[in-house]
């Protein structure tokens, strides 16, 4: 695929355009539109309840939710497209939304009705989109939401008057409280076959004349003529012309170019549409609204004077984001520990089952179940607490209105890196774990910016890298202090800094090359503060967690089993020294002897564990994984590594922290070691290059390994989620390649330069 063919998915993979259980022949299709933060998702939930699913049109990137409901003995199929401020497409994804309204591919037909949700407390801004929708001259119903907030601000919208002005039904609702939903369903059922009562004409006379001239030249098969001609006339970016150009004859195309040229000459081209529509809206606002108890500063205004303050607001945002990060990191720990304990309990249960059935807890099937299936499933579930907690907090912040403020405050700084403020949350979350961080990029609307954030999120040093850092820093970095700063702590900080600096550079390069775009900017409307909707929050958490388990989980389990097989087979016992096997058998016999004392059993168990570790080390060396380590030794030797470190790096592909237990096996200690194990610490300190007395591990080698793991893509779970979120194998492969190359080069420079100075 081309590098710029973005295919970002936010939920389930692409499927049919009608959800399961919907009779597409008998159900009327309704498109749900609205600005962001108008309560569109809450209304969708109120109309459809649990009869919904999330997905994409086949082969495209726009997230959509499908649901069904019934009213007046009719069945309706509701399609909720992403929130938008305008039908003037500035990107391929926005163009696709317009195509859906026109009934062009990937949609299978024109909608039977358009349901527009508008915020009564911000009527002028919301009516701009409604004005564009009315150009389609299709059956339309307007849901007037948040009327309570408008009244609290001292304004009342007269729905009947607004309906007369627009020529379509306007239904006051409070989606969060489910007020007006029944009336809205009834209005939808009665309006589904009825176009607006009047032709919508918001344009000034000279602009209207230009559109009329183009209408006369337009072929009848290009869709709703007035809408298409208005969009083509004002299409600065060319998306409409690219999509509909094949439907226009040469004379029509030339007429559009001439009209645009005249408007540019008049100096009105850039603002002609917005000026006309807003002038029309402002002309009608006095007739459709009235002030009741005129208010001064609203509660939102007072809160915003603090939370959006250039200095104080930024401090509050930083504290809030750090609190979010720490909460995800620490609060999920007990649940993750419980899942880890349950995984251990399941392994113990399998051990007991095998002993009962076969008399021994060993063999390929036993290892497959414990080290493959149970470890793989555990590797999926252990991420769930972080994902659930992160999506819960993000949903609360977004639904309450604060997330938009944090994005607004940080935008001025992140824009210098080619990103916008909304990328802050995913990048911060990635310090705990890249998986929920990548999934949190769903709050980013711009597809290229979202993709760049996905591609750099794994460079943030996640908690899985900590065991590697802890083990090697404790063993090889002196515990000295410079100017009150500990060298070990500074080294740990440097590892985090390596990822941050590299991410900045990668983001800049991507913006200038394969994901080249103009100056990053984003339009953001600060919503009114409100209590989060429990239903919205629950559904966002449920969708995020379930999609991870179903989609990314299968890849993670499969990769874990593949790595297990590579480390287990061919299980050549002839590679184990006979004397070592004899010692193992002797210890087993002594352990089972009835006359052996309890103290003797404890001593023998310790010795037996040491011997078992040595046996596993020999078997691992002869395994396919060990052979791969020996194969790549010439490539990793310039990094200061031997085949054992190379094998551990390969084995850590399912999860970075696996390198510690793998090194325990490779150095004859077994897999039951961690970064705090004194035996592993002593073993790697005393390890030498095979056949020599030259130390294997030195400070430059330790730094080389840490830098490699700070930048590499040694986490199949992360790659699986990238595949899940982009709906493409190209981007996870691209991520693995670029991160591995960066990690190798950085580790090479670290070791070679370190040899000269350390």
- 275-290 pLDDT tens trace: 888 999 999 999 998 8
CA distance 249 to 222: 11
Beta bridge partners of 67: 52, 78
Res. 523 pLDDT band, cuts 50 70 90: low
755 versus 552: the higher-pLDDT residue is 755
Question: How far from the centroid of its chain's Cα atoms is residue 602's Cα?
Answer: 49
Buried residues in 56-93 as b, exposed as e (16+ CB within 10 A): bbeebbbbbbbbbbebeeeebbbbbbbbbbbbbbebbb
Beta bridge partners of 113: 30
Tell me the per-residue pLDDT of 621-672, one tens digit each, with 9 for 90 and over. Answer: 788 888 888 888 899 999 999 888 888 888 777 666 566 666 665 555 445 5
User: Which position has the token pair 């995984």?
Assistant: 343
User: Which position has the token pair 């358009």?
Assistant: 114
How many residues comprise the chain? 758
CA distance 755 to 758: 6
In Å, the largest CA–CA distance within the chain is 107
Closest Cα partner for 79 from 94, 100, 60, 95? 100
Tokens of 756: 């000269």
CA distances from 179 to 121, 229, 643 (A): 17, 38, 68
Buried residues in 161-186 as b, exposed as e (16+ CB within 10 A): ebbbbbebbbbbbbbbeeebbeebbe
The answer to whether 564 and 372 are in contact (CB under 8 A) is: yes
Name, in order, each residue with C-beta under 8 angstroms of 287's C-beta and a sequence gap of 6 or more: 161, 165
CA distance 520 to 535: 33
Q: Is the pLDDT of residue 485 over 80?
A: no
pLDDT confidence of residue 106: 74
Res. 427 pLDDT band, cuts 50 70 90: confident
Cis amide leading into 570 (omega within 30): yes
Tell me the per-residue pLDDT of 297-316, one tens digit each, with 9 for 90 and over. Answer: 666 777 777 887 878 887 88
pLDDT confidence of residue 140: 94
Sign, CA dihedral 100-103-109-113, equals: positive
pLDDT above 70: percentage of residues in the chain: 79
Buried residues in 251-275 as b, exposed as e (16+ CB within 10 A): ebeebbeebbeebeeeebbeebbee
For 58-76, give the secondary structure using H, E and C: CCCCCEEEEEEEEECCEEE
159 versus 330: the higher-pLDDT residue is 159
CA distance 511 to 537: 33
CA distances from 583 to 80, 580, 604, 740 (A): 69, 5, 11, 42
For the chain, how big is the Rg over CA atoms in Å? 31
The answer to whether 571 and 364 are in contact (CB under 8 A) is: yes
Res. 12 pLDDT band, cuts 50 70 90: very low
Q: Is the pLDDT of residue 16 over 60?
A: no
User: Which position has the token pair 């299978």?
Assistant: 108
Res. 164 pLDDT band, cuts 50 70 90: very high
- Mean pLDDT across the chain: 78
Q: Is the pLDDT of residue 5 over 60?
A: no
268 versus 653: the higher-pLDDT residue is 653
Highest-scoring range by mean pLDDT, 326-330, 619-623, 745-749: 745-749
DSSP state of 91: S
Query: Strands 170-172, 140-145: parallel, antiparallel or unpaired by DSSP?
Result: parallel
- Triad 174, 101, 114: Cα angle to 5°: 30
In three-state secondary structure terms, 52 is: strand
665 versus 421: the higher-pLDDT residue is 421
Q: Is the pLDDT of residue 522 over 60?
A: no
Highest-scoring range by mean pLDDT, 244-258, 339-353, 378-392, 475-489: 339-353
CA distances from 608 to 583, 589, 593, 679 (A): 9, 11, 14, 15
Tokens of 464: 């899985």
CA distance 181 to 175: 7
pLDDT confidence of residue 370: 78
Res. 268 pLDDT band, cuts 50 70 90: low
Buried residues in 25-38 as b, exposed as e (16+ CB within 10 A): eebbbbbbbbbbbb
pLDDT confidence of residue 55: 54
pLDDT confidence of residue 746: 95
Question: How far from the centroid of its chain's Cα atoms is residue 119's Cα?
Answer: 28
The answer to whether 114 and 139 are in contact (CB under 8 A) is: yes
CA distances from 104 to 6, 240, 553 (A): 20, 12, 35
CA distance 137 to 196: 6
DSSP state of 519: S
pLDDT confidence of residue 209: 79
């Amino acid at each position: 695929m081309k590098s710029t063919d973005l295919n970002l998915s936010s939920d389930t993979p692409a499927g049919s355009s009608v959800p399961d259980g919907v009779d597409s022949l008998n159900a009327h299709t309704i498109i749900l539109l609205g600005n962001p933060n108008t309560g569109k998702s809450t209304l969708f939930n109120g109309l459809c309840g649990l009869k919904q699913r999330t997905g994409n049109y086949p082969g495209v990137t726009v997230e959509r939710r499908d649901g069904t409901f019934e009213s007046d003995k009719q069945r309706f199929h509701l399609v909720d497209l992403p929130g938008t401020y305008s039908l003037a497409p500035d990107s391929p994804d926005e163009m696709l939304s317009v195509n859906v309204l026109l009934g062009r591919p990937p949609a299978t037909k024109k909608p039977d009705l358009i349901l527009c949700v508008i915020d009564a407390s911000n009527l002028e801004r919301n009516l701009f989109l409604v004005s564009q929708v009315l150009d389609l001259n299709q059956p339309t119903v307007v849901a007037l939401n948040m009327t309570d907030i408008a009244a609290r601000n001292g304004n009342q919208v007269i729905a009947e008057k607004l309906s007369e002005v627009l020529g379509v039904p306007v239904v006051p609702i409070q989606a969060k409280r489910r007020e007006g939903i029944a009336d809205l369903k009834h209005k939808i059922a009665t309006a589904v076959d009825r176009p607006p009562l009047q032709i919508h004409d918001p344009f000034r006379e000279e602009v209207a004349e230009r559109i009329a001239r183009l209408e006369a030249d337009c072929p009848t098969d290009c869709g709703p003529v007035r809408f298409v001609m208005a969009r083509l006339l004002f299409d600065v970016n060319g998306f409409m012309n690219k999509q509909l150009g094949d439907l226009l004859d040469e004379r029509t195309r030339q007429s559009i170019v001439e009209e645009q040229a005249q408007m540019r000459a008049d100096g009105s081209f850039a603002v002609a549409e917005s000026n006309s529509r807003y002038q029309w809206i402002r002309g009608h606002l006095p007739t459709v609204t009235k002030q009741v108890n005129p208010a001064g500063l609203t509660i939102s205004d007072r809160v915003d004077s603090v939370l959006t303050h250039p200095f104080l607001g930024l401090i509050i945002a930083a504290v809030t984001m750090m609190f979010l990060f720490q909460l995800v990191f620490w609060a999920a720990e007990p649940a993750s520990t419980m899942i880890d304990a349950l995984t251990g309990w399941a392994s113990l249960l399998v051990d007991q089952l095998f002993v009962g059935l076969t008399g021994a807890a060993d063999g390929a099937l036993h290892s497959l179940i414990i080290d493959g299936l149970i470890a793989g499933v555990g590797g999926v579930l252990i991420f769930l607490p972080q994902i659930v907690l992160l999506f819960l907090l993000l949903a609360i912040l977004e639904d309450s209105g604060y997330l938009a403020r944090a994005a607004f405050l940080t935008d001025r700084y992140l824009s210098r890196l080619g990103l916008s403020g909304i990328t802050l949350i995913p990048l911060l979350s990635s310090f705990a774990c890249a998986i929920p961080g990548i999934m949190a990029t769903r709050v980013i609307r711009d597809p290229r910016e979202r993709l760049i954030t996905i591609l750099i999120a794994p460079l943030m040093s996640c908690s899985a890298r900590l065991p590697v850092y802890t083990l090697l820093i404790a063993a090889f970095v002196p515990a000295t202090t410079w100017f009150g700063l500990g060298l070990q702590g500074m080294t740990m900080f440097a590892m985090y800094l390596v990822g941050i600096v590299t991410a900045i550079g990668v983001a800049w390069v991507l913006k200038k090359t394969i994901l080249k775009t103009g100056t990053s900017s984003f339009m953001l409307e600060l919503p009114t503060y409100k209590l989060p909707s429990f239903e919205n929050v629950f559904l966002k958490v449920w969708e995020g967690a379930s999609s991870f388990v179903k989609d990314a989980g299968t890849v993670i389990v499969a990769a874990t089993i593949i790595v297990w097989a590579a480390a287990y087979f061919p299980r050549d016992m002839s590679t184990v020294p006979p004397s070592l096997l004899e010692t193992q058998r002797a210890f087993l016999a002594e352990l089972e002897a009835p006359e052996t004392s309890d103290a003797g059993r404890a001593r023998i168990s310790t010795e037996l564990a040491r011997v078992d570790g040595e046996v596993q080390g020999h078997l691992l060396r002869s395994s396919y994984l060990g052979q791969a380590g020996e194969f790549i030794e010439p490539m990793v030797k310039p990094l200061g590594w031997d085949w054992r470190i190379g094998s551990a790096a390969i084995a850590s592909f399912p999860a970075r922290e696996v390198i510690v237990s793998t090194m325990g096996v490779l150095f004859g200690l077994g897999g039951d070691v961690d970064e705090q194990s004194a035996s592993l610490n002593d073993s790697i300190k005393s390890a030498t290059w095979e056949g020599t007395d030259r130390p294997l591990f030195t400070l430059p080698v330790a730094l080389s390994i840490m830098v490699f793991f700070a930048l590499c893509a040694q986490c199949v779970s992360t790659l699986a989620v990238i595949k899940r979120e982009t709906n493409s194998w190209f981007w996870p492969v691209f991520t693995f390649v670029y991160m591995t190359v960066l990690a190798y080069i950085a580790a090479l420079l670290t070791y070679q330069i370190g040899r000269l100075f350390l």
